[in-house]
Structure 1
Amino acid sequence: MTIRTATIEDLETVSAVEAECFPPAEAATKEEFEKRLTHYGKHFWLMFDGDKLIAFVDGFVTDEADLTDEMYEKAEMHRENGDWQMIFGVNTIPAYRKKGYAGELIKRAIADAREQGRKGLVLTCKDRLIPYYAKFGFVNEGVSESVHGNVVWNQMRLTF
């Protein structure tokens, strides 16, 4: 398995993995990924099995302390020197789940954010995933204001 950051050339494969991992109401569109890759491709961590993209984690950097729904749609809000690394998506295609690959990508995102001098990382997740992210040091801050995909999201933060 190899891990690298993304470029615009990864648009098709990233979009395909997202569509395989999330229901349509929650999945980012190809157009949204095009903007994201253009603005913050260095904040996409991609994992490959040979030439096959099997998992990725993405999110931009900001000085805002809380993750908002607006951030998903406005890639131009990215600030390379911001304080907080946001995590918008953790994706692993079904055939590769439960093997620790997403965890490896999360650890890499954490290590990179620490090395880049961030204050920490912020993500939102559904109730069932709170214990999973807690294993990496994320602390549940309660129900988020997010209404993304018409589901309830919890905001979790890892502070360095």
Structure 2
Amino acid sequence: MDRWTSLAGRWERLSLDIVPITLKEANQFVADHHRHHGPVTGHKFSIAVSDGVGIVGVAIVGRPVSRYLDDGWTLEVTRLCTDATKNACSMLYAAAWRAAHSMGYKKLITYILESETGASLRAAGWKCVGQAGGLRWTGKRRPEVDLYPAQMKLRFEKE
């Protein structure tokens, strides 16, 4: 994917490329840029997208948070975060699926807030399978302060 920028008064093309990134580096990007989530504890792999100058987005992929979906064949994009660079989200979702699939996984899932459009997911070939989760955590382990906006989530899958 190409991006244009003005350098010294003339327009030049910057291409976007998928690059490897460590969990520590990806978590730092999430801490600096994500609207409502913080870093994660672990992962299976992380990838980034670069504009040739720096990192403009990251995807962190791990085991599904839901124990019911953790079947050994499914992974979850637990964080996806960009600096709003055009096409970075859809590039990361598509690259995450290619990597997971090439590792032998059969399904990749992720969740977005109901208020988000899911356009990047659909552009990368993912399907919305409906609402998931609740408005808030419940039970003994519920945090005192909500960790994310109290909205229903939408689950997307790629098989």
Whether TM exceeds 0.5 here: the answer is yes
- 2:12 is matched with none
Q: Structure 2 length normalisation: TM-score?
A: 0.66
1:55-134 equivalences under 5 Å are 55-62=57-64, 64=67, 66=69, 82-94=72-84, 96=85, 99-127=86-114, 128-134=116-122
Which has the larger share of strand?
2
Structure 1, unpaired ranges of 5+: 68-78
Distance 1:64 1:117, change over 3 A: farther
**Structure 1 Cα separation of the partners of residues 111 and 156 of structure 2:** 6
- 1:142 is matched with 130
Look up the equivalent residue of 2:74 and give its one-letter code.
Answer: W
In the alignment, which of 40, 50, 54 is matched to residue 56 of structure 2?
A: 54
Larger Rg: 2
Pairing 1:19–2:28 present: no
Q: Structure 1 length normalisation: TM-score?
A: 0.66
Distance 1:101 1:107, change over 3 A: same
In the alignment, which of 12, 19, 27 is matched to residue 4 of structure 1?
A: 19
How many residue pairs end up in the alignment? 130
String of CA shifts for 1:113-160, please: whole Å, max 9, x gaps.
11111111101112332344233332222211153612221111112x
Q: Secondary structure at the match of 1:129?
A: coil
Q: Share of identical aligned residues, percent?
A: 13
Structure 2, unpaired ranges of 5+: 1-15, 137-146
**Structure 2 Cα separation of the partners of residues 3 and 138 of structure 1:** 19
Which has the larger share of helix?
1
